[in-house]
Structure 1
Amino acid sequence: MLNPTFTAPDLTTFAGLNQLGLTAIGQHLSTAKAEIFCHVTTPDPWCRICGGTAVPRDTVTRRLAHQPFGWRPTVLVIRHRRYRCGHCQRVWREDLSQAVAPRQKISRTGLRWALAGLVTQHLSVSRIAEGLGVTWNTANEAVLAEGQRLLISDPARFDGVKVLGVDEHVWRHTRTGDKYVTVIVDLTSVRDGTGTARLLDMVQGRSKAVFKTWLAERDEQWKQGIEVVAMDGFTGFKTAAAEELPHAVEVLDPFHVVKLGSEALDQTRQRVQREHHGRRGRKDDPLYQCRRTLTTGLSLATEKQKTKLEDLFKAPEYEPVQLVWSVYQKMVDAYRQLKPEIGRWAMEQLIAEIGTKVPKGLPELKKLGGTLRRRKTDILAYFDHVGSSNGPTEALNGRLEHLRGIALGFKNLTHYIARSLLETGGFRPRLHSES
């Protein structure tokens, strides 16, 4: 716009006070904070008991933390009238419910700013408290209560779930108390290609009983809508899902299947290293130098890495490592097939091969073959339900690691679960629509 037309400053609109039913009548700025003096836009001098006309009795002042501007704390100084009914002598104050929740020290606009900062900008509570100019406890209690009311307690939060992911992680590293939590994730949007994974709930502990109890608490109609349960190799989750969701398909996701192969390869490499060198690997040992290259998919390996592997496998004492490495590469290739039916056939052939034809002297490969044979149905189910992987669940666990870093750790499990649900609960569209 070449010739903009400027109007007189409107502090009420700029500070968003019109949404709170307030009108700005003055301001005081300092290097520490900004104070906006305001009053209620539409007085209500009518008695709600008898309907009589009231007269102003006196005025009190109320101070509210507001949304900061330029990270300078902003305070609303509200001139709050009190009225007395001339008929029944009732006394009341002007209604501020549009501006602030009962017994709250932060305006509704400031509270929405704080919640958006916590959920979408991943700010710490300390940073939010600094922006609002309040104590940490005041900011934490207000934000968690608003998040609980607006987001976590939403009765529609569990609607539309068809694909579940379940995993566990360590939420605190202390010697006392249960350090594990079970994480339940909605993977429906990931499978359908319409969105990202969404954290549904977190439960203290890691066992079959924990997951089974959580499923038992859901209503029968909701459980009937679950089509797929993606999980890691922990058999407790599988048993709980089989008992509570007998109609659902259990899927062992590719990440954990390939991880089983990678662990078998590492264990074989370490055993061969000790048998032929009598010690752990050192930086000049060929096996130790190739430890990263061995777990790289052959299709992604560079020519230098391929040459390095060829030189390694020329030594006959490293033949056990080569055999397990070839199995690991076949597992990776099966999951990288463009057509699921080809990948399913390749994986099925591999499971049959290492389940019956394992050479002697390869205990790691024999153990891997037994595990794959026991979980064969769950492993092959992935190829029939592509997209129902527990990988996004692992990604959410990574985001929770970041959350714990921001907060410098948690001591209170209730606060941790609430913060985690806000951080990874997929509530962003609803949050913006409410604001």
Structure 2
Amino acid sequence: MSDATSPIPVVPAITAANLDTFARVDVLGLEVQAQQVWPDKTILFCKPTLPDNTCPDCGRLGGWHDTFSRWFTHLPVGRAATKLQVSAPRYRCRNCGKVWRHRLRTVAEPRSKLTRSAVWWALQEVVLDHSSISAVAAVLQSAWGTVHDAVTELGQQVLINHPERLDGVKVIGVDEHCWRHTRHGDKFVTVVIDLTPIRDDTGRSRLLDMVEGRSKEVFKSWLEAQTPEFRAGVEIVAMDGFTGYKSATAEAVPDSTTVMDPFHVVALVGDKLNQTRQRVQRELTGGRGRKNDPLYKARRLLHTGIGLLTSRQNIRLDALFAVEDHAEVEVTWGVYQNIIAAYRDKDRAAGRAALSKLIDSIKAGVPKGLAELAQLGRTLHKRRDDILAFFDHPGTSNGPTEAINGRLEHLRGIALGFRNLTNYRLRSLLEAGGFRPQLHSHL
């Protein structure tokens, strides 16, 4: 009985035409001469179908000199690798005597160990199927660096550096992103998102770029590095409460409108509500909240919208606010709920008016001792125009920017972390760049 792990002996490819088509080596300018099948891989013995016998020096024709072999990794069959052993001629020029190899330019890029089809397949796996480089390399039975370099080069060529990738961008979002969680080194980058498809209801947001650092100069430098046509086309910039991004926008794209989106406004008010609750908790108990303290138990309940409260939760809130010492928390909670209600108002004009009135009332004066609410009033008044601009420009929320951040967190988990920001930027643009031609058509 033969060993089940033994390969099928090298045999001629009896149905060569069918095998060429099945293995897709015909598009590489190769034809299969023989094959060998192992449990974990298949080896195809090939030769080029077209000559490369023009002398690179003098341009005259050369003749056969001898034969050499090169190995390539090709498209896998299922999860089993396919290896090509290509036997190609070496030529000698009849005129000048130069000897050169068949360059196999239709098979792979110079010095590449992956066929052109294999590189396209790897790019598809990374971009469309969200596979890690390690997983793709394992299927191809190739080194991580080989696959990474090939995917990066092709991805930059056809996706990241595509001349049309930044066309039609009218609404952008900007935010910070923590790309690594370490004690040393700069942890933050500035991410720039295309929100135009969200505003126009034509698709999803996409990552435009990722720049090291988080400051006014970082964002301003990125804007100024773009073409004048790009800057002229930017109509709206959605951002959080960081004034550096606003200043950069005002200086680099002065004709655009800045919008402080609801996501960050509500988050800002929610932080002030939480700070008020914690301060009152410390004043009443002399320390941090414990699991049986009413204010600590209600920390999540306080951030729930009124319209989403159950009857049981309403009873809990009534009991919480019945305590006179919790009055400051109740006042801040009321502001938080009113801001949410203004954003959720189906009548945008009414919502704008309600929020404008609320900002004025907080700025005019708050109960004594509510330092958190007073500080909130100053911030909202300072960014009043940016906050209210949301109602005049629907679909400009920076929420999709946070969604992109979530996808990048997932990417980092797939790769088990990144140490190199250059690699992280490239993989992030491939993961969330959104500009994806029909990759399948190249396989």
TM range (shorter): over 0.9
Deviations 1:192-214 (A, max 9, x none): 11111111111111111111111
Q: Which residue of 2 aligns with 1:239?
A: 247
Distance 2:51 2:202 in 1: 48
Q: Is the 8 A contact 1:197 1:392 kept in 2?
A: yes
Matched, 1:78 2:86: yes
Q: Which residue of 2 aligns with 1:349?
A: 357
Q: Is the 8 A contact 1:190 1:196 kept in 2?
A: yes
Q: Please, which moves more after superposition, 408-417 or 375-384?
A: 408-417
Q: Which residue of 2 aligns with 1:147?
A: 155
Q: Which residue of 2 aligns with 1:267?
A: 275
Deviations 1:118-157 (A, max 9, x none): 1111111111111111111111112112212222222222
TM-score (norm 1): 0.94
Deviations 1:306-363 (A, max 9, x none): 1211121111111111111111111111111122222111111111111113111211
Q: Secondary structure at the match of 1:75?
A: strand
Matched, 1:296 2:296: no
Q: Secondary structure at the match of 2:123?
A: helix
Shift of 1:219: 2.5
Q: Secondary structure at the match of 2:411?
A: helix
Mark the runs of 5 or more structure 1 residues left unpaired by the alignment.
1-6
Matched, 1:39 2:47: yes
Shift of 1:227: 0.2
Q: Is the 8 A contact 1:115 1:147 kept in 2?
A: yes
Matched, 1:103 2:111: yes
Distance 1:153 1:193 in 2: 25
Q: Is the 8 A contact 1:163 1:187 kept in 2?
A: yes
Q: Secondary structure at the match of 1:373?
A: helix
Q: Which residue of 1 aligns with 2:266?
A: 258
Distance 1:145 1:51 in 2: 31
Q: Which residue of 1 aligns with 2:219?
A: 211
Matched, 1:167 2:178: no
Q: Secondary structure at the match of 1:80?
A: strand
TM-score (norm 2): 0.92
Q: Is the 8 A contact 2:53 2:62 kept in 1?
A: yes
Overall identity of the aligned pairs, in %? 53
Distance 2:425 2:22 in 1: 36
Deviations 1:7-62 (A, max 9, x none): 99822111111211111222111123211111112335555777765432221111
Q: Secondary structure at the match of 1:104?
A: coil
Distance 1:387 1:254 in 2: 11
Distance 1:51 1:173 in 2: 58
Matched, 1:379 2:387: yes
Q: Which residue of 2 aligns with 1:286?
A: 294
Q: Is the 8 A contact 1:340 1:386 kept in 2?
A: no
Distance 1:246 1:161 in 2: 16
Distance 1:353 1:191 in 2: 31
Distance 2:155 2:60 in 1: 40
Q: Which residue of 1 aligns with 2:336?
A: 328
Matched, 1:417 2:399: no
Q: Match for 1:307 among 315, 318, 324?
A: 315
CA 1:218/1:52 → structure 2, altered by over 3 Å: closer, same or farther? closer
CA 1:51/1:262 → structure 2, altered by over 3 Å: closer, same or farther? closer
Deviations 1:193-245 (A, max 9, x none): 11111111111111111111111222322211110000111110011101111
AA in 1 matched with 2:235: E
Q: Please, which moves more after superposition, 48-57 or 18-27?
A: 48-57
Q: Which residue of 1 aligns with 2:256?
A: 248
Q: Which residue of 2 aligns with 1:55?
A: 63
Q: Secondary structure at the match of 1:144?
A: helix
Q: Match for 1:121 among 126, 129, 141?
A: 129
CA 1:375/1:423 → structure 2, altered by over 3 Å: closer, same or farther? same
Q: Please, which moves more after superposition, 423-432 or 34-43?
A: 423-432
Q: Secondary structure at the match of 2:190?
A: strand
AA in 1 matched with 2:434: G
Distance 1:9 1:220 in 2: 53
Q: In the comparison of the two structures, how many residue pairs are matched?
A: 429
Matched, 1:363 2:371: yes
Deviations 1:245-271 (A, max 9, x none): 111000001110000111111111111
CA 1:193/1:62 → structure 2, altered by over 3 Å: closer, same or farther? same
Q: Which residue of 1 aligns with 2:4?
A: none
Q: Secondary structure at the match of 1:428?
A: coil
1:392-407 aligned at under 5 Å gives the runs: 392-407=400-415
AA in 1 matched with 2:412: R
Q: Which residue of 2 aligns with 1:27?
A: 35
Deviations 1:375-398 (A, max 9, x none): 100000011111011111111111
Mark the runs of 5 or more structure 2 residues left unpaired by the alignment.
1-14
Q: Which residue of 1 aligns with 2:24?
A: 16
Shift of 1:87: 4.6
Q: Which residue of 1 aligns with 2:166?
A: 158
Q: Which residue of 1 aligns with 2:231?
A: 223
Distance 2:118 2:159 in 1: 17
CA 1:101/1:154 → structure 2, altered by over 3 Å: closer, same or farther? same
Q: Is the 8 A contact 1:59 1:82 kept in 2?
A: yes
CA 1:432/1:387 → structure 2, altered by over 3 Å: closer, same or farther? farther
